[in-house]
Chain A
Amino acid sequence: MTEQTVERRAIWYLLGFLAVVLAFVLSMALKGFTQQGFYVTLGAFLTLSILSFLYKDNIFYKMAEHLFVGVSAAYWMVMGFWSVMVPNLIGKIHPPAVKPFMPAIASQPASYWYLIPAVLGIMLLWRLMPKGAWIARWALAFIVGTTAGLNFIRYMASDLLGQINSSMVPLVVIQNGSLDIMTTISNLVLFLGVFCGLIYFFFSKEHKGVFGVGSKIGIWILMVTFGAGFGYTVMARISLLVGRFRFLFDDWLGLLK
């Protein structure tokens, strides 16, 4: 990059910065230089900065991105301390210590079971030490193993047993001596969907012949479901976009009446 290019780029950046400051001040003037006006203008500026990514990566997007990441990381750290460490660790092991912040917890009896997660937490942090980083693996193994064990029961009860129970339906429904067509079709789709879906997710048998046909029907049913899900979710996202535009055009610019 030549010196002239750098100089030209610096001028452009300076002009851009001045334009943004000017726009910000003008916007503030429109809102009447109040605290509320400042927040709304700042919100609009950050919204436009994030939306500018649709054009291409630029300095405004970078600034908004770093601000967002920095603020949110700090926020979650503080949240983690006050909603987990203080009430669930310090408040359980030595309740009087949290009396100034959480008097309701301070009156409860101490529970020394919470020393176990405290030890596991220290083991996790051990990886920062120059020696004995392997100690952190024991805590991780405990977390992953417990997760797998607990979820095995939870998923088997809700997904497997619950699904089997709900899928046992008559394929022909006769009510008052005549065929109930709508319920019959509904039950047929349910049975076919579950049965062929299970065939598709069968991994230890090649999908050929009748099994292959069942698997194909299964993936078709899945794709139709995804199509419906896509449309439904896009609709919900559009409403979020409308909310943002409403903020820009109503709260900020005051164009909507």
Chain B
Amino acid sequence: MPSCWVNALVRCVIHALSPSVSVPRERARESRTLLRFFAPALLFLGLVAATVFAQAPNGGAAPRSVSDPQAADTKGDEGGSIMLRWTLSPDDSAGQVTGYEVFRAAKPDGPFKSVGFASRGSARFADGSTDDDSSYYYKIITTGPGGSTETAVIGPARSTAEWFNSNRANVLVIGLLISGAVLYYIASAKKGKKLFIRRIAGLEAVHDAIGRATEMGRPILYIPGIQDMDDVQTVAGVTILGYVARTIAEYDTKLEVPTSRSIVMSTARETIKAAFLSAGRPEKYSDDMVNYITDEQFGYVAAVDGIMVREKPATCFYMGAFFAEALIMAETGNSIGAIQIAGTAMPAQLPFFVAACDYTLIGEELFAASAYLSNEPRQLGSLKGQDVGKSIAMLAIAAGTALFTLNQILRAEWFASAGQWLKNLFIVN
């Protein structure tokens, strides 16, 4: 008989899931009757079992509350945050705690509102939504399957902004080291010390590319990326534009700079104007050299492609931050036979420039370009100083790697501790 019920139930389920499976009408009716009886029974049994099993671990008792709760300003931040700390509930490790809910109020007598939840095993919570001018009161509620218990009211606590973030002292020290090196080398270069810069092929070609455009009597197209002036790549692109514009002024070639940001347009105009002035050709400068197209990425690239195929520039420069438009522009430039020099620090776009352009400045080379091209002491010293930063990185990586490797081979705890200490020096908080 039980097997008969089971069969009937299975058939009924199959029928429900797949209406195309034919079930005799009588059997289907039998199955529905059985389901009507079994469904509420199974539901009731399930509820009973869930209640019994849920209360089993702690026998239904609420977990004990946390002890020694404290609320104080988060140290070394810019304000707007209060840190709450406590000693875990004695029931935390026994699995009778699901977490700690933090409630906040502006007055000690409430009303308290939940501001967040710290999971089991966590003994602190940062409330990052505070106003520096206000006092706050907190309650920590320990929750578990058996209920919840709350602490007494904690507070008042106020958040304040600090001048220095002590957690970021390592950033300060390394920043000072690199800045010191930059200043030292700038001073050395100014005193006349010759600073060596290795050859960068893409930049060697800049002169030839401008010369080619001059000989062919065709314009030069300069794209300073599609980001605003708050992107260092755009800053680098506009700085290189200054050098290119100066050479163009000397060669008397036509320059076109379509931009996708209004502030980049203003900066580019000022840069080119200054370059033409320093080349002794201020009368050759015109605001029409730099145009704003649109902020819209693909609208911009559609217009630039149009300029390329209609005006057929002999040389195209792409220096700055680029996204999906990089390949579209570089391919169009390639199709019109322009000599193309690109430079960007966008890892996803570099492959396209490498494939479609004659020369590509990869990442850091873009930032080194202005120093390389201008040969100016300040910029050369800055470049040399940056190399000091790279030396620090190489030494630290080599030392840390050696210590961790020795620990693996010799199994000596000292190497692991020393390696970890060194690694911690470069943690960013």
Q: Number of contacting residues on A, CB 8 A?
A: 66
The reply to whether A65 and B306 contact each other, CB–CB distance below 8 Å, is yes
Interface-lining segment among A18-26, A94-102, A149-157: A149-157
The reply to whether A140 and B267 contact each other, CB–CB distance below 8 Å, is yes
Q: Which of A75, A140, A157, A195 contacts B263 (CB 8 A)?
A: A140
Please, how many angstroms separate the alpha-carbon atoms of A127 and B427 in the complex?
45
What are the residues of chain B within 8 A of A61 when measuring CB–CB?
Answer: 306
A103 at the interface (CB under 8 A from B): no
Given A72-B296, A73-B293, the answer on whether A204 and B198 have CB atoms closer than 8 Å is yes
The reply to whether A203 and B387 contact each other, CB–CB distance below 8 Å, is yes
The reply to whether A164 and B397 contact each other, CB–CB distance below 8 Å, is yes
User: A178 → chain B, closest Cβ, in Å?
Assistant: 12
User: B180 → chain A, closest Cβ, in Å?
Assistant: 14
Given A167-B397, A167-B401, A207-B198, the answer on whether A230 and B302 have CB atoms closer than 8 Å is no
What are the residues of chain B within 8 A of A10 when measuring CB–CB?
Answer: none
The reply to whether B393 and A203 contact each other, CB–CB distance below 8 Å, is no
For A240, the closest partner residue in chain B by CB is: B324
Interface-lining segment among A1-9, A35-43, A111-119, A221-229: A221-229
Q: Which of A157, A204, A206 contacts B171 (CB 8 A)?
A: A157
Given A144-B235, A161-B426, A229-B348, the answer on whether A174 and B270 have CB atoms closer than 8 Å is no
User: A187 → chain B, closest Cβ, in Å?
Assistant: 8
What are the residues of chain A within 8 A of B384 when measuring CB–CB?
Answer: 203-204
Please, how many angstroms separate the alpha-carbon atoms of A88 and B42 in the complex?
60
The reply to whether B197 and A168 contact each other, CB–CB distance below 8 Å, is no
Interface centre among B232, B347, B384 (most CB of A within 10 A): B232
11 A-B pairs with C-beta separation under 8 A: A61-B306, A62-B306, A73-B296, A140-B266, A143-B229, A167-B400, A168-B423, A172-B408, A195-B398, A202-B198, A225-B347
Q: Give B residues with C-beta under 8 Å from A.
A: 168, 170-171, 174-175, 178, 195-198, 200, 229-232, 235, 263, 266-267, 269-270, 292-296, 298-300, 302-303, 305-306, 309-310, 324, 327, 347-348, 350-352, 354-355, 362-365, 368, 372, 383-384, 386-387, 389-390, 393-394, 396-398, 400-401, 403-405, 407-409, 419, 422-423, 426-428
Q: Give A residues with C-beta under 8 Å from B.
A: 50, 53, 56-57, 61-62, 64-65, 68-69, 71-73, 75-76, 124, 127, 136-137, 140, 143-144, 147-148, 151-153, 155-158, 160-165, 167-174, 191, 194-195, 198-199, 201-207, 222-223, 225-227, 229-230, 233, 237
